Amino acid sequence: MSIFVNSETKVIYQGLTGSQGKYYGLLNRDYGTKVVAGTNPKKAGTDVEGIPIFASVAEAVGETGATASCIFIPAPGVRSAVLEAAQGGVDFIVAITEGVPAHDEALFYNQLRKDFPNVQLLGPNCPGIISPGECNIGITAGHIALPGGPVGIVSRSGTLTYQALHELKEKGIGCTTCVGIGGDPVPGTSFIDCLAAFEADPETKAVMMIGEIGGSAEEEAAEFISNNMTKPISAYIAGVTAPPGKKMGHAGAIVSGGKGTAKAKMEALEEAGVKVGNNPTEAGDLMAEIVSQF
């Protein structure tokens, strides 16, 4: 099985008529994802290589039965695009765009929780989600993901999302779903959201988790793992050699007041029973050891 998306997921691309939206929308369709519509009020009634363009998400949902949306809208428009998707009837939103203002993220995150509690937002500033062999929404290269399980992946780092998939593929280990949650200060989907979903998925037998310095998400995940997870986990935390106070590329990766260091996160995860590697390859090796025991 998979979490959040599968072979039956029908996806709308908000921004399909733009260069990036078109490139990845068609790439995802070629992978096998059911990309059923795009939106652009100025180009409604046209199509992008056979994919119909509608004026709004609501119209697209009404005509196609789509349940998911992928946003390739420039940062200033993401706030309205997210809310339009929720109001339009989709229940899973993937916002790829980076550079979204933090106050916009906080606003639509809280509005979704208040008015659309059943809508799951992934991102912004994330690579998206892939259930190998079934559905790929976002910018992850499908050829690096091996289908068939038994490992679920959740990563805060975009680049390390791809490396985690590659490390497992090199070892002949398949993946149920890989979720790149992004590293912005207000992510729509957390480590805990994904860990809970993987715990509930009978086909996911183990989880690989990639974190980074800054914030407290990994420590919160460690507490959740300790209290709720029965499945084995391997992990890697990026930023071990970062100088004190160093900010990494992500807006959420800021170490302050002695908190949020790689060392503290690694210790919290190890105390929760997670096997923590010192680099992504070692995390992959640890997962291979776990899988060999199944």
Residues 147 and 279 in one domain: yes
Catalytic residue annotation: 250
Decide if 136 is inside a domain.
no
Domains identified in the chain, total number: 2
CATH (domain of 33): 3.40.50.720
Residue 229, number of CB atoms within 10 A of its CB: 19
| pLDDT reported for residue 17 | 97
Instruction: For the full predicted model, state whether its pTM sits above 0.85.
Output: yes
Residues 69 and 187 in one domain: no
Residues 215 and 147 in one domain: yes
Residues 107 and 202 in one domain: no
Residues 110 and 147 in one domain: no
Residues 145 and 268 in one domain: yes
| pLDDT reported for residue 19 | 96
**CA 29, CA 14: separation in Å to the nearest integer?**
14
Residues 19 and 98 in one domain: yes
Decide if 133 is inside a domain.
no
Tens of pLDDT, residue by residue over 6-20, are 999 999 999 999 999
| pLDDT reported for residue 223 | 97
CATH (domain of 163): 3.40.50.261
Contact 15/21 with Cβ under 8 angstroms?
A: yes
Residues 68 and 199 in one domain: no
Residues 59 and 113 in one domain: yes
| Sequential pLDDT tens for the chain (294 residues) | 799 999 999 999 999 999 999 999 999 999 999 999 999 999 999 999 999 999 999 999 999 999 999 999 999 999 999 999 999 999 999 999 999 999 999 999 999 999 999 999 999 999 999 999 999 999 999 999 999 989 999 999 888 999 999 999 999 999 999 999 998 989 999 999 999 999 999 999 999 999 998 888 999 999 999 999 999 999 999 977 666 655 555 545 454 445 578 889 999 999 999 999 999 999 999 999 999 999
Decide if 135 is inside a domain.
no
Task: Find the domain containing 170 and state its range.
Answer: 141-292
Residues 111 and 160 in one domain: no
| pLDDT reported for residue 247 | 54
Of the candidates 90, 122, 154, which is a domain's last residue? 122
